[in-house]
Amino acid sequence: MANPSISPPWVGIVMATAPVYMREVSDQTIRQRFLLAKLQKSGRIVLNMDGYELNWNAKYRRYPVIPYADDGLLDYQRQNLHKQAVLGWRGYKTTGKITYMEELQTKGSAAILNRASEMITDMCESITTEIGQEIYTDGYATGNDARLVGIGSFTGAGTCAAGDRVAVCNDTYANLSTAQGSEGTWTTLMTTAPNSTLATDWPYGRGSEEYDYWSPKLVNASSTNWGTGATTWASNCEAVLRATNKWLTVGGGEANKPQLALLNSEWMVDFMNKQSSKQRIIVEHKEAQDLGFNDVLNFDGMAVQSDFDVPAQKAYVFNIEQMALMSLADEMIHVRGPFDDPSRDARVTNVGIFGNLMFNPKYFAEIALRA
């Protein structure tokens, strides 16, 4: 039987070790999920936020430029180039408890330490897993008031005909409309418009920044106009990913080209089969390998991987530099406790996150079978 006299008080152990375990375990669990690991490496996990709301300026237009002849008259005007985006904070919690009876049953210092550390590890892993899933959530949907405002919060689609390669954007994110063409103009030179309702060249062509400053690319993988003669992802995936990559790159500039495409597992298998059927060498993605992920493919410079959390029949293309995971605490995941609970004769601990995701929708795409 262990000698209780050599064991420091249980609460002292947990209070001393909990922050250490949280820092180590949080970092480890982040590295186990590719998107979170990429956010961390790119410095896009931002800590110690404050304020009642998350506010940032979205640049939606440029200074107007006019042709000018020598000695012409200049009209000086103040210009507003920004609109304000606003998000509230969201939170998640998980709880754990160790009773006084259990404390007595595990008097040895190693047993107490192991039990406490295992609980913290499991709670942290649960929170990280939840965050990974919630990245795709529509935080504005009914019943989701406390959930993260994920990428699904700005991918609401309007009209999309069978031949359309993109859908009309029809959503509101951070109090700003995602609709194309609510302001500004776009060229109309193409014989077949990528979306028949918009009837412009978008996302090809060119136009004013106001036209699509807050519009994601909602790509229709089942369009009849991918040039394959088919309407399935298995047939169209290569053309779809290549066009999406190019649209996001041209629309945002080479410095803002997408780095990552995450597919549901079925679509990832179809994509791999498409590559191998053409007897191409499947190239692994070097940066992903450096992060410890060896099953990530390189397609036109973009990392392509399956993600368990991606909804069925969908894929997402990300620009990591245009998103962030924000936390109000000085760590992404915080620990509270242990606290005495006299009603249960126990010590209780909760682990959680208070924060939110933020995106610039223009630099993201959702791919789906839309018609």
Q: What pLDDT is attached to residue 201?
A: 97
**Residue 144 pLDDT grade (very low, low, confident, very high; cuts 50, 70, 90):** very high
CA distance linking residue 60 with residue 82, whole number of Å: 6
Predicted pLDDT of residue 253 = 73
Distance CA 233, CA 271 (A): 8
Please report, to the nearest 10 degrees, the dihedral formed by the alpha carbons of residues 214, 215, 216, 217 taken in order: -150
Q: What is the mean pLDDT of the chain?
A: 87
For 196, the 3-state DSSP assignment is coil
Q: Which domains does the chain have, with CATH numbers?
A: 4-65+83-142+326-358 (3.30.2400), 154-323+360-368 (no CATH)
| pLDDT value at residue 336 | 86
Residue 349: per-residue pLDDT: 87
Q: What per-residue confidence (pLDDT) applies to 287?
A: 61
Q: What is the predicted pLDDT for the residue at 124? A: 85
Q: Is the pLDDT of residue 217 over 60?
A: yes
pLDDT at 28 over 80: no
Kindly tell me the burial class for residue 341, based on how many C-beta atoms sit within 10 Å of its own C-beta (0-12, 13-18, 19 or more).
middle
Separation CA 174–CA 356 (nearest Å): 12
Is the pLDDT assigned to residue 289 strictly greater than 70?
A: no
Question: Rounded to an integer, what distance in angstroms lies between the CA atom of residue 116 and that of residue 137?
Answer: 32
pLDDT of 195 > 90? The answer is yes
| Sign (positive or negative) of CA dihedral 70, 75, 76, 78 | negative
Asked whether residue 248 carries a pLDDT value surpassing 90, the answer given is yes
117 vs 62, which has greater pLDDT? 62
Q: Which residues contact 263 (CB under 8 A, 6 or more apart)?
A: 271, 304, 305, 306, 307, 310, 315
* pLDDT over 60 at 292, yes or no: no
- Give 7's pLDDT tier (boundaries 50, 70, 90): very low
DSSP string, 10-33: HHHHHHHHHHHHHHHHHHHHHHTS
Whether residue 281 is predicted with pLDDT greater than 80 in this model: the reply is no
